[in-house]
Chains A and B, each alone.
Chain A
């Protein structure tokens, strides 16, 4: 079967750094994406990694290791508005993306 594993919940302090891990097992792999979703809202695209290594976009960075079927999202200088659910997603074919179960990030002042 196809599966993506990520922690269900993570708690961090405002201003700190947090890493959300994702391991995957899929029949095909084109790349790993990360999406952010606030309660009641739609997912918004954060990043996409097709090759191994670290991609940095402002306070957010995403890492991929294809040999380990592993990736992570790194959030720096956490702000209260970063409290949301974060989904990793694998593009397993030309037209299909499979989502993980989501990690709910709670940030304390």
Chain B
């Protein structure tokens, strides 16, 4: 099956710093990648959708200048949380979809971000 990796799996940072999270599709080309945020015992909230080579589409209420998304290749997307604050602490999950799997998303293992 399709595999998606995320790095790092866990990060703790000080308030005001920036954190970059990488999402890679390991054995398929991801034409579309999605970034979600999940708070404890809650559902996945879509933050943005990105297609390779184009600007990300952000969901309403998500600050594009705070959550920078780059989908530079068909196997890599990055999410940078700029000037992180404690309220940004959450579980960030990426997912990817290829041309052969338009009805299914493959999720990465997630990144636990804690901002002190």
**A positions within 8 Å CB-CB of B:** 30-31, 33, 35, 40-45, 48, 50, 87, 91, 94-102, 104
A62 to B28 Cα, complex, angstroms:
27
Q: Are A99 and B103 in contact (CB under 8 A)?
A: no
- A41 partner, pick from B45, B104, B109, beta carbons under 8 A: B109
- Asked whether any CB of chain A lies closer than 8 Å to the CB of B107, the reply is yes
Minimal beta-carbon separation of A96 from chain B (angstroms): 7
Minimal beta-carbon separation of B109 from chain A (angstroms): 5
Interface residues of B in 60-107 (CB under 8 A from A): 93, 95, 102-107
Q: Are A41 and B110 in contact (CB under 8 A)?
A: yes
Q: Are A99 and B49 in contact (CB under 8 A)?
A: no
Known: A48-B103, A50-B103. A102 touches B43 (CB 8 A): yes
Minimal beta-carbon separation of A86 from chain B (angstroms): 11
Minimal beta-carbon separation of B1 from chain A (angstroms): 9
The contact string, 1 if C-beta is below 8 Å from chain A, for chain B 4-39, is: 000000000000000000000000000010100000
Query: Which B residues are CB-close (under 8 A) to A97?
Result: 34, 46, 105
Query: Which A residues are CB-close (under 8 A) to B109?
Result: 41-42
- A42 partner, pick from B46, B51, B108, beta carbons under 8 A: B108
CB-nearest residue of chain A to B103 = A48
Query: Which B residues are CB-close (under 8 A) to A96?
Result: 46, 49
Query: Which A residues are CB-close (under 8 A) to B108?
Result: 42
- B103 partner, pick from A33, A44, A87, beta carbons under 8 A: A33
CB-nearest residue of chain B to A91 = B103
Q: Are B105 and A45 in contact (CB under 8 A)?
A: yes
